[in-house]
Amino acid sequence: MSRNARLNATITTIICWLCCPLPPAVLAQTHSNGTALSALGPRPRARVVIAEDAGATRAFKPDPARVRSLVNSALTNLTSQTSVAAAWRSLVSTQDIIGIKIFTSPSPGAGTRVPVVDAVVQGLLSARIPPDHIIIWDKHLADLRRAGYATLASRHHVRLAGSADAGWDAKTFYENPLLGQLVYGDFEFKKEGEHLGRKSFVSKLVTQQLSKIINVTPLLNHNSAGVCGNLYSLAVGSVDNTLRFEGDPARLAQAVPEIYALPVLGDRVVLNVVDALLCQYEGEQVGRLHYSSALNQVRVSTDPVALDVLSIQELNVQRALKGISSHSSTNATDLYRNASLVEIGISDPHQIQVETLK
């Protein structure tokens, strides 16, 4: 081989190494062998802290004191603070109006569990956040009351709110050419004019009241989004006219990241908490304890995408243990990949650093 030919071959090899990412198998081997990722692939860019206590639930019922300890431990480790109050003050101030976004469902046992939110509220109060600056919210106030949050709000003198009940902001919306079937409660319902149904208006609760948002979501499967997690819960819970994409997984995969990326939403999120006390891998919004596993965990991160990706992985693990086929679809994968493209968070599991506290 001539000198020029050898030089060309060397250059080609270097270009291939630079341009072609390592296969997942190599990256996985890198993790297991403990080799430095900096030499073989990207460094972890998302950090997730998981606090676990086998006694956090008993017969699927949470132990409030142990759950509070899990939330506090996860938060102080994530923020590298020595106290719960300091941890919360590193995320919010006493001037903020803080919305704790939860995910309720027709079955109280399937959505965000009250003891997890109770721990968050108590932590904020310990940081001297005024009670009337704390709002527990979801789309419908009636669902919050049905799930037992009125009692919690009354005990701590904090507020409850429904994004739909607060009305929709005519000046702030998500626009998509996809036409929707407007229903009662949507901002443009029964209005006349051209191009109706192409906008999803953001709630006045979000645009006019909240300055910071804390997501608290359950580890609950969703057949289209993969999980009723941080992205899906906040996006769908904050806007109207959602039927136009909720029934189509491909449309949902596009709309959810784009809605979450609205500055009035994503930019206000300071913390994401996954209530992983139970992992319900079948049933979506209907509580099905026979399709649930007790993980006894609370997971926290500032990266909503990383948490949702790990939740989907966990759902698939639990299904596999029960001999049930995976529900993860291409569209669910696309949703989180799209979220990474608009820089909401990290969807590549190899770039997620997980720290487990036991």
Cα separation, 213 vs 95, in Å, equals 13
- Of 154, 137, 135, the closest CA to residue 96 belongs to 135
Domain limits for position 227:
42-357
Q: Do both 189 and 293 map to the same domain?
A: yes
Which tokens go with 31? 């993790």
CATH number at residue 256: 3.40.50
Q: Do both 239 and 205 map to the same domain?
A: yes
Q: Do both 102 and 28 map to the same domain?
A: no
User: Per-residue b/e over 242-271, b at no fewer than 16 CB within 10 Å?
Assistant: bebbbeebebbbbbbbbbbbbebbbebbbb
Residue 163 pLDDT: 98
Q: How many residues does the chain have?
A: 358
- Of 169, 157, 167, 104, the closest CA to residue 133 belongs to 157
Residue with tokens 């102080």: 76
Residue 349 pLDDT: 94
How many domains would you assign to the chain?
A: 2
CA atoms within 13 A on the CB side of 341: 11
Residue 105 pLDDT: 73
- Give the DSSP H or E segment for 252: helix 249-260
Q: Do both 21 and 56 map to the same domain?
A: no
Q: Do both 12 and 54 map to the same domain?
A: no
Q: How many helices (H) and strands (E) does the chain have?
A: 14, 13
Which tokens go with 303? 């990266």
Q: Do both 26 and 53 map to the same domain?
A: no
Q: Do both 127 and 167 map to the same domain?
A: yes
DSSP for 163-208, please give it: TTTT-EEEEEEEE-S------TTSTTTT--STTTTSEEEEEHHHHH
- Is 346 exposed, middle or buried (CB count within 10 Å of its CB: 0-12, 13-18, 19+)? buried
Q: Do both 73 and 184 map to the same domain?
A: yes
Residue-level pLDDT, tens digit, the chain, 358 residues: 433 343 343 333 333 333 333 333 333 333 333 333 334 455 668 999 999 999 999 999 999 999 999 999 999 999 999 999 999 999 999 999 999 999 997 666 789 999 999 999 999 999 999 999 999 999 999 999 999 999 999 999 999 999 999 999 999 999 988 887 889 999 999 888 777 889 999 999 999 999 999 999 999 999 899 999 999 999 999 999 999 998 889 999 999 999 999 999 999 999 999 999 999 988 776 767 788 899 999 999 999 999 999 999 999 999 999 888 776 555 678 999 999 999 999 999 999 999 999 8
- Are 227 and 339 spatial neighbours (Cβ–Cβ below 8 Å)? no
Classify the C-alpha dihedral 174-175-177-179 as positive or negative.
Answer: positive
First to last CA, the chain: 60
Instruction: Give the distance from CA 86 to its chain's centroid.
Output: 24
Q: Do both 227 and 194 map to the same domain?
A: yes
- Are 108 and 330 spatial neighbours (Cβ–Cβ below 8 Å)? no
Cα separation, 80 vs 88, in Å, equals 11
For the chain, the farthest-separated pair of C-alpha atoms sits apart, in whole angstroms, at: 83
Q: Do both 47 and 35 map to the same domain?
A: no
- Is 88 exposed, middle or buried (CB count within 10 Å of its CB: 0-12, 13-18, 19+)? buried
Which tokens go with 51? 């606090």
- Name residue 294's beta-bridge partners: 278
Q: Do both 68 and 3 map to the same domain?
A: no
Cα angle, residue 30 at apex, residues 302 and 344 outer, rounded to 5° = 25
Q: What is the pTM of this model?
A: 0.86
Q: Do both 142 and 7 map to the same domain?
A: no
DSSP character at residue 22:
P
State the angle between helix axes of 149-156 and 114-126 in degrees (0 to 180), rounded to the nearest 10: 20
Which tokens go with 44? 């972890």
